[in-house]
């Protein structure tokens, strides 16, 4: 056991013995090496290990607005933004104040609270399809609960999912597949038994599948944001709605990313489609752990204690997470979305121009307030599905990623992640990212 800090000898005058790791000024490498001795791979979510892009992660000390600072004191302009969870920017004063205000009153009770009621009301009022909302602790919990609920309501087992969509670490949705043809599921990872995915059908994104009366639900990212950023083609979401209705299957929108980011009413408002069940996470927790399932009242009332579909959670409806989430939603007025839309257009076009001037082949697909990057030859064509998304040049992305990091801009360490712009990304920040993009693209093109 490596000793934690001794405040009497620590060189840092303002040392907090709980967070100090001792041994003078820590480096990313020493801390990450030490983490690897305690945590598998040194990370608590696999993408953070930088396996896809090479190198080692920066270890974060603090963050504010659009910036993130590592333990060595290097500050980056951050386009990760906790994968979209902190839409207001890091340590936004409204969120910090709400958490500070809540924390002294206790951090979890195991009993109902006013804040969870308010957050559920707030979600319902912004998304009319969510007549009832159940809060939980992650997007993964939301998708697994939605699947259980859909199966419980319909009495059917089959789930249809789309290649390249991501729904968290939910067994039934961790399926291999992804080619142009529909496949019945094979496990997408070790540890998922065949039986868990035997009733999961994987079909290509942006093509309405023909369903039958075995299907309990279709689960879809209404804008795909985990294979780059891919828009639904005209008629796709409408077609899913109609096909689900035809066979009596439920339509589940996974709005863990798009919910309260794409528009005040999420993707379902932007595309005017009513989902039966909607999954949330990320934005609704203001950067604290949260998830939620919302939906039609008659469907949601199948959840325990009213109905036979079990759901429970010790920390569900957590006082701090609901305080932070309410503060975030409060700040997200319709004007804010107009502002975010402008910022995303501005930044994506500046990055596009910078890459073009530097001779680095890349395109920046934009869907509302979401944007992604596609590197290489595939860049010239609009990507509509996973097969096309996979044509992105991953090696070129890795070079660009490393060059951006060296220029002080943090992108997600994977070629298929979206870039997240929030209230912290002012015009000045956008200009600085654009300048860094030109220099990084020049390096990556060489």
Nearer to ligand PLP, 116 or 221 (CB): 221
Find the shortest distance in angstroms from Cβ 202 to ligand PLP.
Answer: 16
- Residues of span 68-127 touching ligand PLP by CB under 6 A: none
Nearer to ligand PLP, 256 or 383 (CB): 256
Which of these ranges, 32-40, 94-102, 164-172, 368-376, lies near ligand PLP under the rule CB under 6 A? 164-172
- 349's enclosing H/E stretch is helix 334-358
- Interface with ligand PLP includes 372 (CB under 6 A)? no
Nearer to ligand PLP, 46 or 210 (CB): 46
SS3 246: helix
Measured distance CA(227)–CA(218) in Å, rounded: 19
Nearer to ligand PLP, 256 or 433 (CB): 256
Which of these ranges, 22-30, 100-108, 134-142, 400-408, lies near ligand PLP under the rule CB under 6 A? 134-142
Task: Rule CB under 6 A: choose which of 32, 50, 166, 260 binds ligand PLP.
Answer: 166
- Interface with ligand PLP includes 167 (CB under 6 A)? yes
Buried b (16+ CB within 10 A) or exposed e, 415-446: bbbbbbbbbbbeeebbebbbebbbbbbbbbbe
Measured distance CA(62)–CA(82) in Å, rounded: 13
Class of residue 363 by CB neighbours under 10 A (exposed 0-12, middle 13-18, buried 19+): buried
Position closest to ligand PLP via CB: 139
Query: Cβ distance 250 to 77 under 8 Å?
Result: no
Measured distance CA(287)–CA(266) in Å, rounded: 18
Task: Rule CB under 6 A: choose which of 243, 254, 361, 388 binds ligand PLP.
Answer: 254
Nearer to ligand PLP, 282 or 302 (CB): 282
How many residues at the interface with ligand PLP, by CB under 6 A?
A: 14
Find the shortest distance in angstroms from Cβ 226 to ligand PLP.
Answer: 6
- Interface with ligand PLP includes 140 (CB under 6 A)? yes
Task: Rule CB under 6 A: choose which of 145, 226, 316, 369 binds ligand PLP.
Answer: 226
- Interface with ligand PLP includes 283 (CB under 6 A)? no
Q: How far is CA 291 from the centre of its chain?
A: 11
Q: What is the DSSP string of 133-184?
A: EEEES-HHHHHHHHHHHHHHHHS--EEEEETT----S-GGG-B---SSS-EE
Find all residues with CB under 8 Å of 160, minimum gap 6, and list them: 200, 201, 203, 209, 211, 215, 217, 218, 219, 249
Residues facing 363 on adjacent strands: 374
Task: Rule CB under 6 A: choose which of 177, 222, 281, 424 binds ligand PLP.
Answer: 281
- Interface with ligand PLP includes 259 (CB under 6 A)? no
Task: Rule CB under 6 A: choose which of 244, 256, 344, 354 binds ligand PLP.
Answer: 256
What is the pairing mode between strands 370-371 and 67-70? unpaired
Q: What is the DSSP string of 207-238?
A: SPPPP-TTEEEEEE-SSB-SSS-BPPPTTHHH
Find the shortest distance in angstroms from Cβ 266 to ligand PLP.
Answer: 12
Task: Rule CB under 6 A: choose which of 57, 65, 139, 222 binds ligand PLP.
Answer: 139
Other Cβ atoms within 10 Å of 62 Cβ, number:
12
Find the shortest distance in angstroms from Cβ 62 to ligand PLP.
Answer: 22
Task: Tell the residue number behind the tokens 């990091």, with chain if given.
Answer: 405
Residues facing 277 on adjacent strands: 252, 295
Task: Rule CB under 6 A: choose which of 218, 257, 303, 396 binds ligand PLP.
Answer: 257
Find the shortest distance in angstroms from Cβ 54 to ligand PLP.
Answer: 23
Nearer to ligand PLP, 254 or 361 (CB): 254
Task: Rule CB under 6 A: choose which of 26, 42, 89, 168 binds ligand PLP.
Answer: 168
Find the shortest distance in angstroms from Cβ 255 to ligand PLP.
Answer: 8
Query: Cβ distance 168 to 139 under 8 Å?
Result: yes
Find the shortest distance in angstroms from Cβ 358 to ligand PLP.
Answer: 30
Q: What is the DSSP string of 354-400?
A: HHHHHT--EE--EETTEE--EESGGGGSPP-SHHHHTTS-HHHHHHH
Nearer to ligand PLP, 250 or 262 (CB): 262
Look up residue 99 and give its two tokens: 């958490």
Find the shortest distance in angstroms from Cβ 172 to ligand PLP.
Answer: 13
Task: Rule CB under 6 A: choose which of 78, 116, 221, 361 binds ligand PLP.
Answer: 221
Query: Cβ distance 290 to 325 under 8 Å?
Result: yes
Q: In the complex, which residues of this chain contact ligand PLP (CB under 6 A)?
A: 138-140, 143, 166-168, 221, 226, 254, 256-257, 281, 291
């Amino acid at each position: 056991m490596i000793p934690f800090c001794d405040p009497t000898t620590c060189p840092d005058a303002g040392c907090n013995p709980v967070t100090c790791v001792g041994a003078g000024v820590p480096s990313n490498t020493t801390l990450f090496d030490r983490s690897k001795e305690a945590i598998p791979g040194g990370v608590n979510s696999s993408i953070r290990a930088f396996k896809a892009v090479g190198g080692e992660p920066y270890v974060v000390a603090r963050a504010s607005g659009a910036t993130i600072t590592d333990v060595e004191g290097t500050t980056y302009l951050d386009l990760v933004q906790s994968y979209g969870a902190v839409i207001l920017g890091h340590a936004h004063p409204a969120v910090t104040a709400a958490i500070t205000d809540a924390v002294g009153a206790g951090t979890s009770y195991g009993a109902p609270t006013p804040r969870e009621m308010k957050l559920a009301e707030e979600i319902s009022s912004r998304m009319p399809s969510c007549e009832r909302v159940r809060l939980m602790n992650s997007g993964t919990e939301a998708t697994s609960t939605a699947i259980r609920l859909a199966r419980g309501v319909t009495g059917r087992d089959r789930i249809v999912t789309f290649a390249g969509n991501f729904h968290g670490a939910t067994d039934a949705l961790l399926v291999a597949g992804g080619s142009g043809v529909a496949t019945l599921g094979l496990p997408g990872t070790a540890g998922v038994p065949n039986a868990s995915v035997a009733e999961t059908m994987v079909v290509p994104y942006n093509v309405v599948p023909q369903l039958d009366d075995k299907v309990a639900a279709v689960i879809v990212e209404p804008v795909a944001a985990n294979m780059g950023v891919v828009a639904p083609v005209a008629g796709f979401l409408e077609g899913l709605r109609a096909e689900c209705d035809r066979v009596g299957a439920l339509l589940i929108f996974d709005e863990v990313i798009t919910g309260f980011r794409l528009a005040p009413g999420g993707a379902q408002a932007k595309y005017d489609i009513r989902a039966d069940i909607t999954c949330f996470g990320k934005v609704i927790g203001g950067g604290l752990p949260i998830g939620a399932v919302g939906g039609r009242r008659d469907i949601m009332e199948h959840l325990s204690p009213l109905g036979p579909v079990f759901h429970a959670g010790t920390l569900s409806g957590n006082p701090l997470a609901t305080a932070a989430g309410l503060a975030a939603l409060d700040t997200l007025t319709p004007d804010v979305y107009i502002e975010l839309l402008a910022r995303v257009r501005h930044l994506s076009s500046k990055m596009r121009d910078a890459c073009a001037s530097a001779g680095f082949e890349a395109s920046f697909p934009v869907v509302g307030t979401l944007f992604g990057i596609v590197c290489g030859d595939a860049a010239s064509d609009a990507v509509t599905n996973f097969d096309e998304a996979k044509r992105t040049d991953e090696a070129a992305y890795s070079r660009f990623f490393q060059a951006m990091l060296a220029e002080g801009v943090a992108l997600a360490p994977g070629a298929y992640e979206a870039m997240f712009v929030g209230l912290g990304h002012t015009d000045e920040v956008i200009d600085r990212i654009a300048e860094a993009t030109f220099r990084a693209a020049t390096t990556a093109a060489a």
